[in-house]
Amino acid sequence: MVVIGGGSAGFAAANKAQSNGAKVAIVDEGPLGGLCILRGCMPTKTILRSSDILALMRRAKEFGLSAQNPSANLALINDRKNRLITEFANYRIKQLNDPRFTLFKEKASFLSPHKLKVGPHTIQAKSFIIATGSTVEDFSIPGLAEYGFFTSDEILEIRQTPESMTVLGAGPVAVELAQFFCRIGTKVTLIQRSNHILSKGDEDLARPIEARFREEGMALYTKTQLLRVENLRDSCKVFFTHEGSEKFVTTKIILQALGRKPNIDGLNLSAASVNTAKGRIEVDHEMRTSVPNIYAVGDVNGLHEIVHIAIEQGEIAAHNATQKNVRRFNERLKINITFTDPPLASVGLSEKECLEKKIRYLSASYPFNDHGKSLCMGENHGHVKLLCSPTNGEVIGAHITGPEASELIHQMVTLMYYKGTVHDLMEIPHYHPTLSEIFTYPAEELVESLQISNL
């Protein structure tokens, strides 16, 4: 087997295939390490830790403490991040160089469904797994390219806190970085086309984050249309429509965080007859492309840009390429987490999806500003929301905007893995006072709703 790309998806695929007995080559043009480690999850979560601590230090007085003028030094924050990232990357590079695999540090492109050009070599294999990830998507906004902009790749390298920044987009990457820079002292404006930030999820879950952003001094415009960028040499004006009129913001730096696209350029997929649609490689639930011996996993298939899903897909493809029985990718336990403060974490179906797919559901919410433990912690933003089946009470979706959401959600993932119901949630013991026990309140409300509807 040849795995093209040694990031999260590719390494998981190679590892699984090799332990299933396949002879595996990995081709990666480098830099080795993959997006998650080098420019994605790990560097962003490392720097967010600094801005989260800074935000808490600023609240010292509220907790009976004193902290003298806490401030951020972006160069030192990045030094800490770089030290950690180097460690993570070195570990991955060691894994890729393991003699269990043959590693080609070259660019790959297909010559046929069974032949790959790898730098100066031509290699053949029974099966191929494409795991080439994603790249930042280009958006043509008049004047943007002329003035210049940062993407999440480059913004992680700057060493001086920018005076002002306009963030284009409001997906997870955009909002995490917007809050980071706002907290370390940059005047941040966020401009978003949809009605609310994090627009793939439910509106009620995004609103408490927007409220927090505004409290922290961020200028936030939703329901906008970007018009143009005008160059003023060492700053620029970003023009957009908002509430029926044209507005502009003057800014030093633009962070273009409007989205990423599957990385398929240069793979010469047509030589292998692999079908693509809307710029992504089409796959079925077995992670197979239109050509049975070629699979595509991770960001390159455009299904979900999330690491643990990339790993799961890699393992599924490797299994299906090496074993007789078939494994399929199942979205039932799909998790999404945005590491803002408050964070947002979801598992399973949203209300938006239920309405779109005409799935019947009952829902109940409970706010953190009426919950003992979150009040003790001074974390009052947000709420939890449970969705259950109106027939048997099985939990089909769970959502949290609020403290420790990224950790708390795993309680709901476990419950849903075992197809637990709101009745189960009421019976499972919860220690007091904890954040976790907040779920028992919406569960209780849903149990009552089910009793009423069954009368």
Ligand X SMILES: Cc1cc2nc3c(=O)[nH]c(=O)nc-3n(C[C@H](O)[C@H](O)[C@H](O)COP(=O)(O)OP(=O)(O)OC[C@H]3O[C@@H](n4cnc5c(N)ncnc54)[C@H](O)[C@@H]3O)c2cc1C
Q: Is 263 in the site for ligand X (CB under 6 A)?
A: yes
Closer residue to ligand X (CB): 282 or 444: 282
Q: Which stretch binds ligand X (CB under 6 A): 189-197, 225-233, 298-306, 341-349?
A: 298-306
Tell me the closest approach of the beta carbon of residue 301 to ligand X, in angstroms: 9
Q: CB-based burial of residue 248 (10 Å sphere; 0-12 exposed, 13-18 middle, 19+ buried)?
A: middle
C-alpha 100/C-alpha 72 separation (Å) is 44
106: which DSSP letter? S
> Parallel, antiparallel, or unpaired for β 134-136 and 260-262?
antiparallel
> 3-state class of 429 per DSSP?
coil
Reading the block at residue 425, the tokens are 């949630």
Tell me the closest approach of the beta carbon of residue 98 to ligand X, in angstroms: 16
Closer residue to ligand X (CB): 30 or 378: 30
C-alpha 378/C-alpha 165 separation (Å) is 29
Site track for ligand X across 308-347, x = CB under 6 A: --x-------------------------------------
Tell me the closest approach of the beta carbon of residue 334 to ligand X, in angstroms: 11
Q: Which member of 2, 85, 173, 191 binds ligand X (CB under 6 A)?
A: 173
367: which DSSP letter? E
**By CB under 6 A, how many residues form the interface with ligand X?**
34
Closer residue to ligand X (CB): 44 or 340: 44
Closer residue to ligand X (CB): 131 or 446: 131
C-alpha 392/C-alpha 370 separation (Å) is 28
239: which DSSP letter? E
Closer residue to ligand X (CB): 40 or 201: 40
Give the C-alpha distances (Å, rounded to integers) separating 287 from 275, 298, 377, 407: 13, 10, 44, 29
> Token pair 């210049």 is at which residue?
148
Region class of 404: left (phi > 0), else alpha (psi between -120 and 50), else beta: left
Q: Which member of 1, 3, 6, 168 binds ligand X (CB under 6 A)?
A: 6
C-alpha 183/C-alpha 298 separation (Å) is 32
- 374 phi/psi in degrees, rounded to 5: -70, -30
Q: Is 51 in the site for ligand X (CB under 6 A)?
A: no
Residue type, 102: T
* DSSP string for 112-156: ETTEEEETTEEEE-S-EEE---EEEPP---TTHHHH--B-HHHHT
Q: Is 152 in the site for ligand X (CB under 6 A)?
A: yes
Tell me the closest approach of the beta carbon of residue 421 to ligand X, in angstroms: 28
Q: Is 408 in the site for ligand X (CB under 6 A)?
A: no
> Parallel, antiparallel, or unpaired for β 253-256 and 164-168?
parallel
Q: Is 298 in the site for ligand X (CB under 6 A)?
A: yes
Closer residue to ligand X (CB): 288 or 373: 288
Give the C-alpha distances (Å, rounded to integers) separating 53 from 56, 184, 254, 345: 5, 11, 25, 20
Tell me the closest approach of the beta carbon of residue 135 to ligand X, in angstroms: 9
Tell me the closest approach of the beta carbon of residue 177 to ligand X, in angstroms: 7
Q: Which stretch binds ligand X (CB under 6 A): 91-99, 126-134, 183-191, 213-221?
A: 126-134
Q: Is 36 in the site for ligand X (CB under 6 A)?
A: yes
- Of 13-32, binders to ligand X (CB under 6 A) are 27-30
Q: Is 41 in the site for ligand X (CB under 6 A)?
A: yes
Q: Is 103 in the site for ligand X (CB under 6 A)?
A: no
Q: Which stretch binds ligand X (CB under 6 A): 302-310, 320-328, 363-371, 391-399?
A: 302-310
Tell me the closest approach of the beta carbon of residue 403 to ligand X, in angstroms: 18
Q: Which member of 202, 299, 312, 341 binds ligand X (CB under 6 A)?
A: 299
Residues forming contacts to ligand X in the complex (CB under 6 A) are 4-10, 27-30, 34-36, 40-41, 44, 107-108, 131-133, 152, 173, 263, 266-267, 298-300, 305-307, 310
